[in-house]
A and B are shown apart, each in its own frame.
Chain A
């Protein structure tokens, strides 16, 4: 990902400006800053859901020629929205399976999902500790459980880049560590990149290798710093 001169203006106020950075496969970037500074907006600009006021974002995917704007590549992005955007009146399993909609034909999904997809989705729910009743509706689950379903949906999508907006805000420390560890593993071993809004400094230090901080006082003072304390994961033999 190549970001050049990125800026976003809301009314007469710049949230961020002159933002330049490069993101490589394998990077886990923690997006940090106080509430209301523009982290969600920046994430939306990076994944093509919002149009920036100035500047460009170009992404080159592995095994695909040429860099392209993010709006053309959304199928390859796994997004965990801050408001989750789950289908409340559908089962946990269906919600996770929806992560793979982009890879399946609309007529195929009209009659259901392939059985190997169902097994894979169920395994992910099990991994995140929400597999007790996979046919339960999302609206019957707690906030933390819903958040884990949203993360399972993004993981099931098998994207190239993860964009996660406060993905562990409703989770206890055990599941927060487990979710972020899984995302870190995806980045390190799965040939992926992760962009994650985080508030907890111990999570940032433990899982991210880059931190992009936004400054509410000076929108041009956004900077990327490399974190040294990240636990390195060695590839499986």
Chain B
């Protein structure tokens, strides 16, 4: 009888060849292992107060102060809420304009290496400083007004949007822009038609996320005098008026939730490229 040809079922070994253990050490598995080790060491080294506290009782007593919310401050809260939204909208707009320019300079596929390094260093520097510290700097420079809030959040947002925008530009296939240059387009035209249409959905998606984030941040920066709801929150906290504090929190929660749903819906539509599909909430 003839031997079965190679590759036929009867010539296959019973078990598939197994890989040695060290071949499983890819980037994902190694970083996951390092992270788990870091969790174990961090848990062991962080110490509590060692005092005998009734945590649950303390928390319940504190939360009881919040209820029921005092809605008599609602008109004043809504006024401050509108100022908070105005600060967030204006600072997001300013940061989008600045970030587009910085993002172009920080994109490896579009800018020369020296400019990329300079812009990335600048973005890292901006991101190092938290929003509250930017607010303190802005209040020192511009006084305790809403203008300071706009300046602080603009600078803070540029640190993130600049990075996101540069990544959006880098994710675009540069060959389309090159082919347009090949048929005679100038650099501006190659960008307008070869890069911008592909980067635009990502850039808009990041901008909406930043607006959501800035509304949350604009509620906090008032703590140091940069306008908006934070000023009210700070006052109620100082005088321990937690029922009024709760009213402000409820207002922030409702706006943030609304914006979260709206942002999610817009981002999903952008991701699905359903530009021509009729606008439908049910999607």
Contact = CB atoms under 8 A, between A and B. Distances in A.
B176 A77 contact: no
B39 interface: no
Contacts of B182: 47, 49, 74, 77, 79
B184 A102 contact: yes
A144 to B, nearest CB: 20
Interface in B264-283: 273, 275-276
B272 to A, nearest CB: 12
A89 B183 contact: no
Give the interface size bracket for B toward A.
20 to 34
B113 interface: no
A75 B182 CA distance: 7
Q: Which of B184, B197, B273 has the most chain A CB atoms inside 10 A of its CB? A: B184
A88 interface: yes
B193 interface: yes
A109 to B, nearest CB: 6
Contact of B176 (A74, A75, A86, A140): A86
B179 A101 contact: no
Nearest to A81: B179
A103 B201 CA distance: 29
Interface string A62-92: 0000000000001101110101011111100
A157 interface: yes
A11 interface: no
A101 B183 contact: yes
Given A79-B183, A106-B188, A110-B188, A101 B175 contact: no
Contacts of B187: 106
A1 B273 CA distance: 44
A118 interface: no
A89 B200 contact: yes
A7 interface: no
Interface string B180-206: 101111111100111001101100000
A45 to B, nearest CB: 14
A146 interface: no
A35 B184 CA distance: 29
Contacts of B201: 89
B193 A98 contact: yes
Nearest to A78: B183
Contacts of B180: 98, 101
Contact of B184 (A47, A101, A136, A139): A101
A38 interface: no
B179 A85 contact: yes
B138 to A, nearest CB: 34
Contact of A99 (B183, B192, B194, B276): B183
B189 A106 contact: yes
A94 B189 CA distance: 12
A21 interface: no
Contacts of A79: 179, 182-183
B216 to A, nearest CB: 31
A14 interface: no
A76 to B, nearest CB: 8
Contact of A137 (B186, B189, B192, B275): B275
A157 B189 CA distance: 15
Interface of A: 47, 49, 74-75, 77-79, 81, 83, 85-90, 94, 98-99, 101-104, 106-107, 109-110, 135-137, 139-140, 157
Interface of B: 175-176, 179-180, 182-189, 192-194, 197-198, 200-201, 273, 275-276
17 contacts: A77-B182, A79-B179, A85-B176, A87-B176, A87-B193, A87-B198, A89-B197, A89-B273, A101-B180, A101-B184, A104-B189, A106-B187, A109-B189, A109-B193, A135-B276, A137-B275, A157-B183
Given A75-B183, A106-B189, 18 more contacts: A74-B182, A75-B184, A77-B183, A88-B197, A89-B198, A98-B183, A98-B185, A98-B193, A102-B183, A102-B184, A106-B186, A106-B188, A107-B188, A109-B193, A137-B273, A139-B273, A140-B273, A157-B184
